[in-house]
Amino acid sequence: MHKEKIPKLTIPRLSLYYRALLESRESAFISSEELSKLTQFSAAQVRKDLTYFGEFGTPGKGYRIVELKEVILKILGTGRQRNIALIGAGNLGLALLAYRGFAVQGFRIVAAFDSNLSKIGKTFEGVLIRGMNELPQVVRNKNIEIAIIAVPANVAQEAVNKVIKSGITAILNFAPIRPKAPKGEEILNIDLSIELERLSYFLKRKSKKV
Amino acid sequence: MHKEKIPKLTIPRLSLYYRALLESRESAFISSEELSKLTQFSAAQVRKDLTYFGEFGTPGKGYRIVELKEVILKILGTGRQRNIALIGAGNLGLALLAYRGFAVQGFRIVAAFDSNLSKIGKTFEGVLIRGMNELPQVVRNKNIEIAIIAVPANVAQEAVNKVIKSGITAILNFAPIRPKAPKGEEILNIDLSIELERLSYFLKRKSKKV
């Protein structure tokens, strides 16, 4: 069906192609030019990415949308629900818990954990906040595959260690550290300060040009 | 001092070097090997990045930490405060407002905007929520350079248009769309669903190997 390994930078583009396809309900086919227009990637880039799925475009018509959607879902592994544990029920954690957008893509926060005794036992958005000691058992029982780390920097490595020990291998980290982890773990870091510093660099260069 | 243009992917590494330097208070000098160990980038990568700053390392000793910090601040343009407007005071927006980490790096949310009448006029974390009609004036008066977009997908492009019209050129977007913008605008997109789909792809590949 498709080559074994797809380059890392192609994966987020697949997500965006899929989203564009969801909005293209008027026709049965879509051309690489149309997909390029919808996603703002170049048509050459789109065509190159689509070669990973094998040759199923129809000359003069483009790609069958139903088929393309199915293939992308299969590659991303998003055709089924993936359960998430939220570590940290502070401001950011609760915002993520309240965010309904995940569920649409098949991701669901099914359990939340905090070390703050005043939070443990409370329920937010239908999810019970538990103590960290319950993590290993809940991960097993609820078939949790992904952890979201939303704790302060100074306790983030400890939280990551506990998550890894519980058997989770995929982590989305919001704490402003780069956690250490053994091979075989996949950690994606979302670091807001770094993004703001990128913008600052852009503003700096821009002001020089003026 | 340094070459005019630094590659885009180097910028976030500079942020991480700076953070590592803040924690290295025991010595006056740091070697590329130590910086590599602290940041988990290869020593070769560190040395390559540091060449952008000119040759101010001391053979056998490494880089003078004070000097290195100063140069990075200068390049990133983070030596002074940058004011931010928050667009959208929902769950995520309020979490960002409450997040104290920004201020340390010199970023500060100085104004917040929402279109919801029940929110306008209220104060969160010392910041007044205003109507979007006040945006242009507040951007001018408060010298705002960056906007954070934390509104739902269906109103995100409209919010971005208003932000651009108000004179802001640097945008951090949390809405799950890729906003369109004229040249000269810098938009960084943080898309949680796409990050989760990357993790899903990792889990998919991993389960195949077992």
Taking the C-alpha atoms of residue A99 and residue A202, their distance in angstroms, rounded to an integer, is 30
Shortest Cα distance, chain A CAs vs residue B136, angstroms: 19
Alpha carbon distance B208, B204 (integer Å): 6
What pLDDT is recorded for position A210?
A: 54
- Subunit contact A75:B11, Cβ cutoff 8 A: no
3-state secondary structure of B144: strand
Distance of CA B88 to the CA centre of its chain: 18
For residue B132, give every residue at least 6 positions away whose Cβ sits within 8 Å of its Cβ, in sequence order, or none.
B87, B113, B114, B115, B159, B162
Query: Are the beta carbons of B170 and A199 separated by less than 8 Å?
Result: yes
**CB of B145 less than 8 A from some CB of A:** yes
| Res. A204: pLDDT tops 70 | yes
B203 inside 8 A of chain A by CB: yes
pLDDT band at residue A1 using 50, 70 and 90 as cut-offs = very low
Establish if B3 touches chain A: CB-CB under 8 angstroms: no
pLDDT tens series, chain B, 210 aa: 445 578 888 888 898 898 888 877 778 889 888 888 888 788 888 888 888 776 667 777 888 898 899 889 888 888 789 999 999 998 789 888 887 667 667 899 999 999 999 999 999 989 999 999 999 999 999 999 999 999 988 899 999 999 999 999 999 999 888 899 999 999 999 988 888 999 998 998 888 765
Q: Which of B40, B184, B196 sits opposite A172 (nearest CB)?
A: B196
CATH class label, A82-193: alpha beta
Cα–Cα distance measured from residue B140 to residue B166, given in angstroms and rounded to the nearest whole number: 8
Inter-chain CB proximity B199 and A192 less than 8 Å: no
Q: State the smallest CA–CA distance between residue A149 and chain B in angstroms.
A: 13
Q: pLDDT tens for residues A119-165?
A: 999 999 899 999 999 999 999 999 999 999 999 889 999 999 999 99
> What percent of chain A has a predicted confidence (pLDDT) above 90?
41
Mean pLDDT for A58-71 is 85
Q: B67: alpha, beta or left, given left = phi > 0 and alpha = psi -120 to 50? A: alpha
Q: By the 8 A CB rule, do A50 and A64 touch?
A: no
Structure token pair of residue B164 = 């651009």
Taking Cα atoms as reference points, which of A149, A158, A44, A14 lies closest to residue A86?
A: A149
Work out the burial of residue B7: count CB atoms within 10 Å of its CB; fewer than 13 is exposed, 13-18 middle, 19 or more buried: exposed
CATH value of B9-76 in 2.60.40.10, 3.50.30.50, 1.10.10.10, 1.25.10.10: 1.10.10.10
Q: Region A65-87: what's the mean pLDDT?
A: 90
Q: Token pair for residue B15?
A: 């942020």
Q: Which of residues 99-138 of A touch B (CB under 8 A)?
A: 99, 101-102, 104-105, 107
The domain spans of chain B are 9-76, 82-193
| Candidate ranges A62-76, A185-199, B149-163; pick with highest mean pLDDT | B149-163
pLDDT at A55: 63
Question: What pLDDT, on a 0 to 100 scale, did the predictor assign at position B192?
Answer: 85
Model pLDDT, residue B157:
96
Residue scoring higher pLDDT (A97 or B5): A97
Q: What is the pLDDT of residue A104?
A: 67
Q: How much is the pLDDT for B4?
A: 58
- Enumerate the H helices of B28-143 as residue ranges: 32-39, 43-50, 65-76, 91-98, 101-104, 135-141
Q: Which two tokens stand for residue B117?
A: 């009448």
Shortest distance between the Cα of A54 and any Cα of chain B, in A, equals 18
pLDDT value of position B207: 82
Task: Give pTM, 2 decimals.
Answer: 0.80
pLDDT at A188 over 90: yes
CA–CA gap between residue A152 and residue B110 (Å, rounded): 23
Report the 3 state secondary structure along chain A: CCCCCCCCCHHHHHHHHHHHHHCCCCCCEECHHHHHHHHCCCHHHHHHHHHHHCCCCECCCEEEHHHHHHHHHHHHCCCCCEEEEEECCCHHHHHHHHCCHHHHCCEEEEEEECCCCCCCCCEECCEEEECHHHHHHHHHHCCEEEEEECCCHHHHHHHHHHHHHCCCCEEEECCCCCCCCCCCCEEEECCHHHHHHHHHHHHHHHHHHC
Residue B145 CA to residue A204 CA, distance in Å, equals 11
> What is the distance of C-alpha B178 from the center of its chain?
17
pLDDT in tens, A17-51: 988 888 777 788 898 888 888 887 888 888 888 88
Task: Report residue A106's pLDDT band, with 50, 70 and 90 as the boundaries.
Answer: confident
CA distance A68 to A64: 6
CB nearest to A95's CB, from B91, B171, B205: B91
Phi, psi of A98 (to 5 degrees): -80, -15
Give the containing element (helix H, strand E) for B202: helix B192-209
